[in-house]
Structure 1
């Protein structure tokens, strides 16, 4: 774990990136290099991607135009072999994320060593600088996902996207998918020397796509709550290990029903919220009279959360309505992480019927019962 004192600014320039030209590339300015490097000058890496594929690079290119934020972090790798050390070669890993959960890529970058005899060295890295003041490098290995965060429902099948690309001569590769949840980890799928093994029932990846295009995406059918967690797609070669992290969340949308339980005064409303996951749910009551504005309805009763056999939750809420002389509309509003907009269920509660007061009927009934009792005694 790096401390704040170990974090220094840097610039990463990717060269020879293939992107579709939509007519806007002429508006971009070429990178002009950096001034003479000093202790305060940002470290600039000028890395070629000629040897590897960099898919969906246009997401990076147009991110700022779409209001997205790109974050990049470079870390030094210490497992340099003896043959590289003699050539002033160093390895770095770069991790790039685009806000909105649309793109994440990790790349192993190898510096190219001394470009010419007597080349100046960067004062911090002690690596040779190009005439443009940059550290020349090449991307040797990349692992990328288009979906760093995935939501799915119970019983569904989910596709965890993970693709990679290696430079020629990188050697054989090994794939391991792992799941982490609440501090515990387990292997889900492994692939090596042309053979795959599913350690979670039903998990699979397509071997043909893997060998032809570096597609290590994993499919998980029949999801249950036990599948929720953080999945790690790790690609290993004899020299490097690079991974992507994908968060899988299980979500179930609540089903809301609002109905009138009792019409006797005062009438009672009942709102049931069932089948949702995860647990957090918000229920708000509103009351609205004809021609008026909605106002919060207080004094609602809420039951405790109940859990079904599959792990989803349910909740109920009741409210004594006060329709008033003109009647009122009552709304049960439910918000949940699975919903873009709240679910609103409403019901009209009519005003009390006008007519003879109930007390009059009771008094009249008692009067006739008294007369009947006295008449029976006389007989």
Structure 2
């Protein structure tokens, strides 16, 4: 037994000794490696993304002796499927638009390019490179975010809410679902006070993004409302302001909002109506004056002449003058009508 083991030991020594120099000359850097930039990568919805993957140890990469396969594993169902395959002169994209740059292959760059990223593109990507007889692979998780579109507007009063008015703050098309909406309200003296706030649940849309609405009731002692929306897709919070102006009512001490645009339009309408009425009266008076006969100045001159002649005889010049005055009075009345 001991003789057999000794014989086997001597045989291994004779076989492995010549290979020892070759083994010592192989450093860890000579083995195929795949390097990726971190374990997580984030992209916004509808943006383009390049998932980095670089090969070391075999650069420049000979594509005729290499194979590249990109896989995607969805986090929801843990299923893995091919995204892109390249081997020699064969290239196939299983996801529309997926590609690997042929120019980058010469430098050992097998990064995957995806245009117009959607929510379904999120998951774990595996970069698998085969350079016969070696194989290497690495993974990275791609997160897809959607930034909310923020709006702020005033809701009209309705019977169901007893005539109260509200300011609505809405966030559209965001992902993931977690979002924070905060209200800040100030009085005319810049004093922060509490308000009646109602925030509904996030509603999922067909494309996988979410919508949410929050509202605050308008109060008589509040002049400024601010809605602050925070989401992981936003580098800074979205802030929207609404300012209302108040005036004292002519009937008591109640207060009401001044709708400045309607006041301006109303004043303009009153002035315009007054100008139109003045023009109308002026034209109407002018037409009435033109519709009557001109004043017969000849009759007046005849009466004056008769009065002068009669007065020279000392007779009834006064009666003639009276007749002349009466006739002039009738003519003047006829002109003014």
Provide TM-score, normalisation by structure 1: 0.53
| Aligned residue number for residue 251 of structure 1 | 145
Residues 194, 269 of structure 1: CA spacing in aligned structure 2 closer, same or farther, 3 A cutoff? same
Question: Structure 1 residues 87 and 229 mapped into 2: Cα distance closer, same or farther (>3 Å)?
Answer: farther
CA displacement at 1:271 relative to structure 2 = 0.9
Q: How does 1:1-379 map to 2 (within 5 A)?
A: 86=16, 137-140=27-30, 141-146=32-37, 148-167=39-58, 172-182=65-75, 183-210=78-105, 212-262=106-156, 266-292=164-190, 294=192, 297-324=194-221, 327-351=222-246, 353-357=248-252
Contact map agreement 2:199 2:213 (CA 8 A) in 1: yes
Give the helix-richer structure, 1 or 2: 2
Q: Higher strand fraction: Structure 1 or Structure 2? A: 1
Post-superposition shift, 1:166? Answer: 2.4
Compared with structure 1, are the counterparts of its residues 357 and 86 closer, same or farther at alpha carbon in structure 2 (3 Å cutoff)? farther
**Distance 1:282-1:195 versus aligned 2 partners, 3 A rule:** same
Structure 2: 5+ residue stretches without partners: 1-11, 255-337
Aligned positions, number: 232
* Partners of 1:87 and 1:113 within 8 A in 2: no
**1: distance between equivalents of 2:143 and 2:131?**
30
Q: By how many angstroms is 1:221 displaced?
A: 1.9
Deviation of 1:148 (Å):
4.4
* Aligned-partner Cα distance in 1 for 2:33–2:191: 57
Tell me, which stretches of 5 or more residues in structure 1 are unaligned?
1-81, 90-110, 116-135, 360-379
Judged with a 3 Å threshold, the aligned counterparts in structure 2 of structure 1 residues 258 and 87 are, in CA distance, closer, same or farther, namely farther
Q: 1:333 and 1:199 mapped to 2: Cα distance?
A: 42
Structure-2 change in CA distance of 1:199 and 1:293 (3 Å)? same
SS in 1 for 2:235: coil
Counterpart-to-counterpart distance in 1, 2:135 and 2:108: 15
1:285 & 1:272 partners in 2: Cα distance?
Answer: 12
Secondary structure of the corresponding residue to residue 155 of structure 1? coil
Q: How far apart are residue 156 of structure 1 and its match?
A: 2.9
Name the SS of the counterpart of 2:214 in structure 1: strand
Shift of 1:147: 5.9
2:60–2:107 CA contact under 8 A, matched in 1: no
1:152 & 1:88 partners in 2: Cα distance?
54
Instruction: Judge conservation of contact 1:147–1:161 (CA < 8 Å) in 2.
Output: no
Structure 1 runs, 4 residues or longer, greater than 4 Å off: 85-89, 111-115, 167-171, 263-266
SS at match of 1:355: coil
**Larger Rg over CA atoms:** 2
Contact 1:253–1:277 under 8 Å retained in 2: yes
The two structures, once aligned, show a CA RMSD in angstroms of 3.5
